[in-house]
Amino acid sequence: MEASTFSLAGFKGMRNDLLVALRKEQPLTAKELGQRFGVTANALRRILKEMEDTGLVRYRREVRGVGGPVYAYSLTSKAEELFPRSYANPLADALTVVRAEQGAEGVVRIFRKRWETIAAEAMPALASLPLPARARALAALLSQQGYMAESDEAAGNVRIREHNCVVKEIATQFPEVCSAEADFISDVLGVTIERHQHIATGCSSCEYTARSLPALQEPL
C-alpha cells in the first residue's frame, strides 16, 4: 500500500492519500488509484463519491484505447486550495510595483534573497553529503517549505520533483520567480540542472534533473 508521506490539515487516512496522489498525478481512474493503494476500485469509488459530494474531486469520461470510456478523477479548485500557498494577492501587488520600478530582475532579486537565506542555513549540514543523500535532504527541505518534494535517481542522474508550488499564482503572473528557485536547487546540489516539467505551464509537477552526476560527488 502506498501511504503518503505528506499530510494535509483536517484529513487523514485514505482521503489524505487520495488527495496527495491526485495532486501528484491527475487525472487518475479508480482502478489506477486502487493499484497504488492495494485496494479494489469499488472500495475507492465510495470514498471518491463522498469527496465529490463535498466538492474536493471531480471526474470526466475518457476513452483510453480499446473498450468503453472510463471515469478519470482530478482535484477541484477547492481541493487545490488545501495545499500550501503563499499570500498571492498582496504579494502580487507588491511585485507589480517592483517590476514597474526595477524590471524583472528586481522581482528575481527578492526571491533569490529568500532562497539564499534558506541555502545559507542548510549548507553546513548538506555540504559534506554525497549526492543521493544531499538530494534527499534538499527534497525534505523543500517539503518543509510546502513544495511536496521527492528525490530519486534515474539513468545515472539525480532528479528533484516538486508536486506542489506555494507560489503558483505568483509564478503565473511573474514567471521570472522560478529562475530564483532553479538557482537555489542548483547551488545546493552544486551542479547545473535542467528543468523538464513546470507547474506554471500546466504540468503536474516541477521536475529538475542534474546534468552531470560526477560533479555532484565533490563537497560544496
pLDDT in tens, 32-77: 999 989 999 998 999 999 999 999 999 998 887 777 788 999 999 8
Q: Give the 3-state secondary structure of residue 14.
A: helix
Name every residue whose Cβ is closer than 8 Å to that of residue 108 and which is 6 or more positions away in sequence: 176, 177, 179, 180
Contact, 2 vs 16, CB < 8 A? Answer: no
What is each CA distance from 46 to 30, 37, 43, 125, 155, in whole angstroms? 10, 15, 6, 46, 39
**Of 163 and 130, more confident:** 163
Q: Give the 3-state secondary structure of residue 66.
A: coil
pLDDT in tens, 206-218: 999 986 544 434 4
Q: Which residues pair with 210 in a beta bridge?
A: 193
pLDDT in tens, 182-197: 999 998 988 889 999 9
Residue 89: per-residue pLDDT: 67
Say if residue 74 is exposed, middle or buried (CB neighbours under 10 Å; 0-12, 13-18, 19+). middle
Residue 215: per-residue pLDDT: 40
Q: What are the structural domains, with CATH classification, of the chain?
A: 13-80 (1.10.10.10), 88-217 (3.30.1380)
The average confidence (pLDDT) of the chain is 85
**Of 7 and 28, more confident:** 28
